[in-house]
A and B are shown apart, each in its own frame.
Chain A
Amino acid sequence: MSDINDRLAALDPAAHDTYQARNLDEMISRIVASSPSGAARSTWWQRVQLRIAATLILGTLIGAGTVAIVVGGPSLAALSIQTNVARHPGTFATANTPQLYEETHFVPAPSLTSSSSSSPATSPSFKMKIPHDSAREAVHLASIFHVVGAVDHSGDDWTVASSSGASLDYQTSGASPQWYYSSTTPKIAPATASSSTDVAMPSHATLTKDALGYLKNLGFDYSAVSPVYSESTVSTTSANGSPRSQSQEEVSYTVAVHGVDTNQMVSFSVDAHNTLVYAQGPAFGVGSGTNYPLQSPLDGVNALNALERAAFPSPAVGANAAEPVTLHAKLTSASISLGTFRLKNGTTWLLPLYTYSGSVAQKNQATVQTWSEIAITPSYVRLSSSEARSVLNN
């Protein structure tokens, strides 16, 4: 991306008109004199700080090694997670989401309370097998899609492009490597797609057969479940400026490992002639599973609330006082899935998660969201900080 970053940097408005702060000491005096700092924090917050400090010290002592053996669980090693994670809605934050100012309070519905007694006591975790030779993996994946060409390497991205323009990108920036295939025409432009087509598209059965064929050839250990089919029309502009459109049909699967859904997706898109135009998915294998004890779904809810309190220690302050600063989420169900986590020893694991579904009331409107929390009993999990935890969404 360095070439593209250079082009973007050359067009930076601030590069042409750099901001130079003035009279900073005056501003500091003005602000300090006219408004209280967070100094008026409650003794409650001071107690929380003490608890966090104690947790950090304990965590440091126990988690000093890459992996520590847990007392009371001689056959199971603690999972020392590298990532500072934060419980988080299942979707990414967006520019319109005032993340910094909103605290969420989670309330379990009676249905969730009753289901806790029947939840499983253990669930398997899986160490992921990641290809060591990325260039070789890129070439291998490209061959599955009949893309033949030299490998272009830039940072964590390996690209194989054919003379026809089809390309295979293999990216290793995330916890789990991802591959992306794109045919020559058209390139996929998600922002310009509509959700319907005006031509006959291949049947779901045909698309499924093709997708499963590709998955078999890819040869990864995972399976693809819960297909979701969608049609779209991607609008582009031809070289002479006239509009043109390309109808596509996509099947998107949830990636599952040994029958358990993961947070990974794999998808395939074809055009009206059943030619593959786009595909993407993760590249990993798995070893045998290790069963870790689980906390109850209700304990997971308590953990979510504890993390919220740690993240919002003082009364939440909105930049706009009229906006709500505390959201109330009613959690109605919890399901087990596998999330991707990188450990301090550099390995990547699929760990069981509780994914909670619930609704949030905000501004007289309820929205359905999901939140995830590590399902493994906390004594087997070492986090690198007291900060919140979340799944690596890739």
Chain B
Amino acid sequence: MGAPDEDRFARLVHEHSNAVGNYLRRRLYPLNLSDLDDLVEETMIVVWRRIDSVPADAELPWMLGVARNVLRNARRSKNRRSAFESRLAPTPNDASAEEHVTADESVRNALASLPDDDREILLLNAWDGLDTHALGTYFVISTNAAAVRLSRAQHRFRELLNEAQVR
């Protein structure tokens, strides 16, 4: 260590590895928990390759954006595995985010009814704690656009939740 890039990379890894791991953990399905460490390291490899691109004022959301791409590629690889493997039922440890939500049926139904984009921004805010500035970095849109998009997602979610509770 010692070079500025290496020092910064070490700091990023120490400060954000857990957040990146939790982000991936929430969206792991259909991968296994045993894949988690590898996905975190794969994310950090990309971060190291592009260390100069990491914005100083939005390091974590930028890294979560990388993690999203890493996870997507891992899922593609998973889908390419043998039919035998793809038919294996997930173990209890592999429960998806949606399966965890079954404890609150109305929330699960409302989440399931949301468009994908709305669900993603809603959970990034509620679970990963990204504020509108961070969401803007994550989605590569302006802060205000992220605020509007989040607000609309919350609005739709609340409507769906209210509807489920009325029934």
- Which residues of A are in contact with B by a Cβ distance under 8 Å? 1, 4-5, 7-14, 16-22, 24-25, 27-28, 30-32, 35-39, 41, 83-86, 88, 92-95, 98-101, 156-157, 165, 169, 171, 173-175, 178, 180, 182, 186-192, 236-239, 313-314, 317, 319-320, 342, 390-394
| Contact residues in A for B49 (Cβ distance below 8 Å) | 35-38, 317
| Contact residues in B for A10 (Cβ distance below 8 Å) | 104
Q: A93 near B139 (CB under 8 angstroms)?
A: yes
| Contact residues in B for A12 (Cβ distance below 8 Å) | 26, 100, 126-127
Q: How close is A19's CB to chain B, nearest CB, in angstroms?
A: 3
Q: A190 near B115 (CB under 8 angstroms)?
A: yes
| Interchain residue pairs with CB less than 8 A apart (29) | A4-B107, A4-B158, A8-B126, A11-B100, A13-B97, A14-B127, A19-B21, A20-B21, A22-B37, A30-B41, A31-B9, A37-B49, A38-B51, A83-B142, A92-B139, A92-B145, A95-B117, A99-B140, A100-B65, A100-B66, A169-B155, A171-B151, A187-B159, A190-B156, A191-B114, A238-B167, A313-B52, A393-B141, A394-B145
Partner of A13, one of B26, B73, B156: B26
Q: B21 near A21 (CB under 8 angstroms)?
A: yes
B163 at the interface (CB under 8 A from A): yes
List 16 extra interface pairs beyond A36-B49, A93-B139, A319-B66, CB under 8 A: A8-B122, A11-B103, A19-B21, A24-B13, A28-B13, A86-B141, A92-B145, A93-B141, A95-B116, A98-B69, A99-B140, A100-B69, A319-B46, A320-B73, A393-B145, A393-B149
A320-B76 contact, Cβ under 8 Å, with A11-B101, A21-B18, A24-B17: yes
A8-B76 contact, Cβ under 8 Å, with A31-B41, A83-B142, A190-B156: no
Partner of B5, one of A30, A37, A192: A37
**Bound: A174/B101 CA distance, A:** 30
In this complex, the member of A13, A20, A313 whose beta carbon has the largest number of chain B beta carbons within 10 angstroms is: A13
Give 4 nearest A-B pairs by CB, closest first.
Answer: A19-B21, A21-B17, A174-B148, A394-B148
In this complex, the member of A16, A20, A38 whose beta carbon has the largest number of chain B beta carbons within 10 angstroms is: A38
Q: A237 near B167 (CB under 8 angstroms)?
A: yes
Q: A17 near B25 (CB under 8 angstroms)?
A: yes
A317-B21 contact, Cβ under 8 Å, with A11-B107, A93-B141, A189-B160: no
Within 8 A of A (CB), among B87-117: 95-97, 100-101, 103-104, 107, 113-117
Q: How close is A175's CB to chain B, nearest CB, in angstroms?
A: 5
Q: B126 near A35 (CB under 8 angstroms)?
A: no
In this complex, the member of B6, B18, B23, B126 whose beta carbon has the largest number of chain A beta carbons within 10 angstroms is: B126
Q: How close is A188's CB to chain B, nearest CB, in angstroms?
A: 7
Q: B70 near A319 (CB under 8 angstroms)?
A: yes
| Contact residues in A for B68 (Cβ distance below 8 Å) | 95
**Bound: A313/B50 CA distance, A:** 10
| Contact residues in B for A84 (Cβ distance below 8 Å) | 136, 142-143
B147 at the interface (CB under 8 A from A): yes
**Bound: A4/B157 CA distance, A:** 9
| Contact residues in A for B5 (Cβ distance below 8 Å) | 37-39
Partner of B53, one of A21, A165, A182, A314: A314
**Bound: A390/B36 CA distance, A:** 35
Q: How close is A114's CB to chain B, nearest CB, in angstroms?
A: 32
Q: How close is B117's CB to chain A, nearest CB, in angstroms?
A: 6
**Bound: A95/B107 CA distance, A:** 21
B24 at the interface (CB under 8 A from A): yes
Q: How close is B161's CB to chain A, nearest CB, in angstroms?
A: 7
Q: A317 near B46 (CB under 8 angstroms)?
A: yes
A189-B65 contact, Cβ under 8 Å, with A24-B14, A39-B5, A169-B155: no
Partner of B69, one of A9, A319, A390: A319
Q: B9 near A83 (CB under 8 angstroms)?
A: no
Q: B104 near A94 (CB under 8 angstroms)?
A: no
**Bound: A173/B148 CA distance, A:** 6
Q: B159 near A188 (CB under 8 angstroms)?
A: yes
| Contact residues in A for B132 (Cβ distance below 8 Å) | 173
Partner of B144, one of A165, A238, A392: A392
Q: A21 near B40 (CB under 8 angstroms)?
A: yes
Q: How close is B21's CB to chain A, nearest CB, in angstroms?
A: 3
Q: A31 near B145 (CB under 8 angstroms)?
A: no
Q: A8 near B127 (CB under 8 angstroms)?
A: yes
| Contact residues in B for A7 (Cβ distance below 8 Å) | 104, 107
| Contact residues in A for B40 (Cβ distance below 8 Å) | 19, 21
**Bound: A19/B17 CA distance, A:** 9
Name the CB-closest residue of A to B99: A13
A4-B113 contact, Cβ under 8 Å, with A37-B9, A84-B142: no
Name the CB-closest residue of B to A348: B144
Q: A390 near B155 (CB under 8 angstroms)?
A: no
**Bound: A313/B55 CA distance, A:** 13
